[in-house]
Amino acid sequence: MTQNMEIICVGNELLIGKTLNTNAQWMAKQATAMGITVNRITVVADEVNEIATAIRETLKRKPHFALTTGGLGPTFDDKTLQGIAEALDRKLTVNTEALKMVKEKIRGIRQRKRSRNS
């Protein structure tokens, strides 16, 4: 039985042609190499309702896998997490332990960078 998947890409920069959608290309190539059929790649705007709608529509088709890409940077317009939470009827909460780990990692990166520049 062939497994299938869909990819949902979030980003206004993709829709206006500012950024090439290399994430979708890479994910599709990797999935295909693993024998997974990519049935659809969807690109939506950084809007909670657009993201939530795309997720709900994808889940109705019942793919084996559904991947999202977007929300990778702290941009002012990023609504990826809110859209996913809305689609799944979940509340977003901060995982304080994970946040602490990320802050420690960033602090370490900054310290290494400063020591290299010294």
pLDDT, tens digit (0-9, with 9 covering 90-100), for 6-16: 999 999 889 99
Would the pLDDT of 72 be above 80?
A: no
CATH number of 4-93: 3.40.980.10
Residue 73 has pLDDT above 70, yes or no: no
CA distances from 5 to 13, 30, 34, 51, 62 (A): 24, 12, 12, 17, 9
What pLDDT, in 10s, does the model give residues 56-68? 999 999 999 999 9
Angle between helices 48-60 and 80-87 (to 10 degrees): 50
| pLDDT score, position 5 | 98
**Residues 10 and 69: beta-carbon distance below 8 Å:** yes
pTM score: 0.80
Helix, strand, coil percentages in the chain from 3-state DSSP, rounded to 5: 50, 15, 35
CA 6 to chain centre: 12
Q: Where are the domains of the chain?
A: 4-93
